[in-house]
Structure formats: C-alpha cells, structure tokens
Amino acid sequence: MAIVAEVIGTLSLKSTEGFTKLWPSTIVIIGYCAAFYFLSLTLESIPISIVYAIWSGVGIAAIAVVSVLFLDQKLDLATMIGLSLIIAGVVVLRLYSEASVE
C-alpha cells in the first residue's frame, strides 16, 4: 500500500503545476501521507533500512513502468539496466539479508 500511495502521489506531481492546482496538489499530499503511514506499519516487523530500500527501489521501478505505459515516456538501455540493478538489489535485500527478518 505504501508503494501504491507513493506512486499515485508522484504521478500527480506534474499536474500540480508547482502546487498551484488544488486537486492534483491534494492528491500528492494525501498520497505521500498515506505512503508514510503504511510505511510506518511495516516497521513493526522489518528494520527501517530494509523497508526504505524496498519502498524506494520498488517505487522507482513502478514509476518508470507507469510513465512508459501511461505517460508515453521512453526508457533507454542505460535506464533499463539501472532499474534492473535496483530491482535485483531489492530482491537480494529482502530474500537474503538477515536484517530483514526479525
């Protein structure tokens, strides 16, 4: 839920036109507040370093995918390699880090 809320908030940023548009600005604020709320819930079972790495990494990848699908943006080879490395890092952290299990 934290990642979904963050993606919604981030996708709405451009529409705020510098926070001069009420409804897009409201979506951004609600999206980020919800993201941090749900993020805080995960801290009961996973350390913050792992939570934040997963949240930011998956959020970055999700924004990239959504921007390609819905905002007609293009990703070059370097971007795709970088995103693949971020995703690989998240997988390694979640599956193999002893810090991610409490």
- Domain of residue 93: give its range: 2-100
Please count the other Cβ atoms lying within 10 Å of the Cβ belonging to residue 75. 14
Please state, in angstroms and rounded to a whole number, the distance separating the CA atoms of residues 92 and 97: 7
Evaluate if residue 14 carries a pLDDT over 80: yes
What pLDDT score does 98 carry? 74
What pLDDT score does 102 carry? 54
Q: How many domains does the chain have?
A: 1
Strand, coil or helix: what is 32? helix
pTM: 0.83
